[in-house]
Amino acid sequence: MTCKPLADTSHRPRLRMNPPSAPLHIVLVNPEIPQNTGNIARICAATGAHLHLVGTLGFAIDDKAVRRAGLDYWHLVRVFRHDDFDAFLHDTRLSQPPLLFTTAATTTYLQAPFHPGCALIFGAESCGLPDDITAAWPASQYGIPTLSRSVRSLNLSNAVSIATYKALEITGAFHGAALGV
């Protein structure tokens, strides 16, 4: 079976969500893989979330792989660059504790107190969040359960997708979602 190219579907109605009352903050601490960051940028473009890149990046932000993974959506994303996590906290002045996503969590993301404008914090692909960040918020750590011990974690962009869409569901962005152009 072969796949034929998609016809122009720009005229077709698509399911659209309501704009969130306050944008989510997707925070990547020391991200290493440009394709993951590009995919996450596309999630941010699709949901109105702000993307925060914190600390050392394992790639140049203008890297072709990042642009390719984000396709032509970069102009739709509010991207913020912070030297370290303290700078992120200072710059954003969060009203609630950040929600940390880590494989060390004992509480599922389904129990996270998502609220409009919340910050979802994710660590580097190879080592997760730094110890000083997890130590500062021991009660704000959430995980995404997996079936097998041999799978230690999900791909970063998949984890961001799961948490982002759950946050949007909980905060009401899907209430009254409708077909639109």
Here the CATH number for the domain that contains residue 104 is 3.40.1280.10
Contacts of 44 (CB under 8 A, 6+ apart): 26, 50, 51, 77, 78
Residue 64 lies in a domain: yes
- pLDDT single digits (tens) 46-63: 999 999 999 998 877 765
Q: Are 129 and 29 in contact (CB under 8 A)?
A: yes
DSSP codes of every residue in 82-126: ESSHHHHHHHH--SS--EEE-TT-SSBGGGS---TT-EEEE-BTT
* Total domains, the chain: 1
Tally the C-alpha atoms within 13 A of residue 83's C-alpha that lie toward its C-beta.
3
> For strand 141-142 and strand 99-101, is the pairing parallel, antiparallel, or unpaired?
parallel
Residue 83 lies in a domain: yes
pTM, whole model, 2 decimals?
0.89
- pLDDT single digits (tens) 4-59: 666 666 667 888 888 888 999 999 999 999 889 989 999 999 999 999 999 998 87
Residue 35 lies in a domain: yes
Boundaries of domain holding 137: 24-141+151-173
Residue 7 lies in a domain: no
Q: Mean pLDDT, to the nearest integer, of 49-78?
A: 78
Q: Which two tokens stand for residue 41?
A: 């940028």
Q: Return the closest-CA partner of residue 24 out of 138, 101, 127.
A: 101
Residue 3 lies in a domain: no
Three-class SS state of 162: helix
